[in-house]
Amino acid sequence: MIKSGGIERQEAIVTVRSALGVNLVRAASALMVIALANAPAIWAQAQSSGRSGSAVPIDPIEAILNAFKSHRIVALGEGDHNNIQGHIFRLTLIRDPRFAATVNDIVVEAGNSRYQHVMDRFVRGEDVPYEVLRQVWQNAGAGHWDVPIYEEFYRAVRSLNAALPRKRQLRILLGDPGIDWNSIKSREDWGKQVQQLPLRDAYAAALVRREVLARGRRALIVYGDNHYLRNPAPNWPPQTIVAILEKETRSPIFTIWTNTHLDLEAAQADISSWPRPSLTILRGTDLATKLQLQGQFDALIYLGPPSSITFSQLTPALCQDRAYMQMRSARIALMGLSEDWRKKRCAEIASH
């Protein structure tokens, strides 16, 4: 069964300073990539490029850019939160000159919408004090986003915008409901505020409907993969971002599962020879059936076997920031969550 894209696995300290080159397959899959602009013919074209029922790798950058020709929204799964390979791919994608010429907005899970005005100023190139800026991710969720890669992504968008005319600059839309942590002093306070907020997926869907679709724009959504399930699992909210939007707007969304923990090679042996990263169309493939992704997602991105996936970690500076550690520990306690991995990681840093 599908695991949540929000699993916290911590295995390596890496601060990625620039995107790595992406080894892409182009010639063999050219017809399939072009077919993305002519959905639904893409499904038949994808299968005709390989053995019957076999998933076939195609160029992921080309595939996503071409998907925008027939879809206003492309929902790209993050994979397990904090994974570095997915982060590198996202940097490579947005740095392709065609991306800003095609896409207007990037909707992210890793940011508290209460600070949308802060993010708007930041990506436009305005001066924003760091103590203000970091509230965007430190006040979102339960601390998933405190590792360096999320801040780096925001800075990458700011850097890209500096070279673009104002009308083509990318906007980052913060998708996490706007909890005001400054007003929360007890678990009762936290419970009351959470009860007043819409469910996270409903909030994100309304944001996309209002800021993207209603304004005739195109957006890339970057969330944990389970937020895109068309038929959610029993332990997941009944309406995901994608399920809500496709039902209410009749606008099809191109959804992509980013794999970081499933053993794809066990499902289809030749995947071990695929370029990293690769994208494959799932519809009608044995791979989709074996992974129980048939009808749930349109495509899958392969980043390498699970053993090759590494994860961004808290920095030594953050572990030594007493105010931060007290803040995060207090909030985790309020929510009844565990911070074992955080304490363990910071203890390891202190011992070196």
pLDDT 10s digits, 254-274: 999 999 999 999 999 999 999
Residue 29's beta-bridge partner residues? Answer: none
Instruction: Judge whether 289 and 297 are in contact, CB under 8 Å.
Output: no
Token reading at 189: 């306070």
pLDDT exceeds cutoff 50 at 23: no
Please report, rounded to a whole number, the percentage of residues in the chain having pLDDT higher than 70: 84
pLDDT 10s digits, 308-322: 999 999 999 999 999
Domains in the chain, CATH or no CATH each: 27-313 (3.40.50.11550), 316-352 (no CATH)
Total-model pTM:
0.85
User: Residue 136 contacts by C-beta under 8 Å, 6 or more apart in sequence?
Assistant: 111, 112, 115, 118, 119, 154, 174
Please report, rounded to a whole number, the percentage of residues in the chain having pLDDT higher than 90: 69
